[in-house]
Amino acid sequence: MIFGIMGAMPDEVDQLCARLQDVTCETYAGVDYHKGTLQGKQVVVCCAGMGKANAASTVQVLCTRYGIDRLIFSGIAGNMTSKIGIGDVCVGETVVYHDAELDMLAQSAPFLKEYHGDPALVAAALDACAACGVKAIAGKIATGDTFVGDAATKKAIEEKCRPDCVEMEGAAVSQIAGRNGVPCVVLRAMSDNADESGYEVLVVKQFSIAEYIKTATDIVTHMIEHL
């Protein structure tokens, strides 16, 4: 069993890479792939870069070149729900594009308009969050190639697909994993409220990416240990 672990930014995977044993690193198509063991399990950890194209191409490399059997994506997102708050986690039970023609996408493999996190991985993620003292829900994640930082855009996305959070990679990860028959799950910590307050939250440091990354590393490590 080989686990692929992805993030969109270097900070999201650096601490995981530091925990690996027997590590080798290969750069392929501009991405560094760190192969090693975590909790005695074989893993490949990488930073895909931001956006759908970067995410999709990296997932395909993980599947084709490294033969992963399971995929975990961990990162941050803009909150779209009152169920959770800043620093809490949304586990992608459902993942959908908010900026795509879904009927057209569904004409090719995996022939879906929305994607669903693997039930076993979703359950493992929720268990890991609970073990790490992090509030989490299994919810809906919306993906698009735009950073959402204003109320008008947030409202339009809310009216279109009613997500619990919004980000830039999850649906692409899920689509390509599904095309390859690889079970996956997307985990997102709420870093802001996807509106004009985002600057204050991220820059004035109500949300600390550095602090959450340590927690996220613990969550993923717990998942790997118990899967």
Q: Which residue numbers are catalytic? A: 12, 192
CA–CA gap between residue 56 and residue 171 (Å, rounded) = 9
Residue 100 neighbours by CB distance under 10 Å: 17
User: Distance of CA 48 to CAs 10, 59, 67, Å?
Assistant: 9, 8, 17
Q: Which whole-number Å values give the CA distances from 214 to 74, 176, 206, 217, in the listed order?
A: 12, 28, 16, 5
What phi and psi values does residue 103 have, to the nearest 5 degrees? -60, -35
Instruction: Give 69's DSSP letter.
Output: S
b vs e for 140-159, b when ≥16 Cβ sit within 10 Å of the residue's Cβ? bbbbbeeebbeeebbeebbe
Residue with tokens 């490590």: 221
First to last CA, the chain: 10
Q: 4 and 43 in contact (C-beta within 8 Å)?
A: yes
